[in-house]
Amino acid sequence: MKKTIIIIFCSLLAMACGNSNDTKGQGQKDSAATPSDSSSSPTASVANEKGLELIGASDCMTCHKLTESSTGPAYSAVAEKYRNTPHALDTLVEKVITGGSGHWGTIPMTGHPMLPKSDVKEMVTYILSLKK
């Protein structure tokens, strides 16, 4: 019985982390991916805007938000945790592509092997550039 519940939970989590762009129009942007008020949102350099665009075009905002925890940690919390960590960029790029769990709680992050490594690098570079 326990195994059945765990399998159902993991299946639901995998579906929730699926691509959320299916219901959006072509010209419609994910408002959660775009900081609207610089006084209440973390700031990042303009050079990393491509990373923000890639995050908005992916399913990342299904489980993550810029400044508050959701299913996954807030991007600002990730930036803070890894700010002075050597090789953080490479570590997080690999984590996004392969998935994993245990660093932010018990809910696993689904891997995203279909995303090009260069795009994931842009996304993680944006996340690591965030300041509180």
pLDDT of residue 57: 93
Q: Report residue 12's pLDDT band, with 50, 70 and 90 as the boundaries.
A: very low
Dist CA 39 CA 65 (whole Å): 16
pTM higher than 0.75: no
pLDDT at 90: 95
Does CATH place domain 42-132 in 1.10.760.10?
yes
Helix axes of 88-98 and 117-128: crossing angle, nearest 10 degrees: 130
Pick the range with the lowest mean pLDDT from 2-16, 74-88, 93-107.
Answer: 2-16
Report the interhelical angle of 75-82 vs 117-128 (nearest 10°): 80
Q: What residue spans define the domains of the chain?
A: 42-132
With beta carbons less than 8 A apart as the criterion, state whether 85 and 120 touch.
Answer: no
The answer on pLDDT for 88 being more than 70 is yes
Confidence check: pLDDT of 31 > 80: no
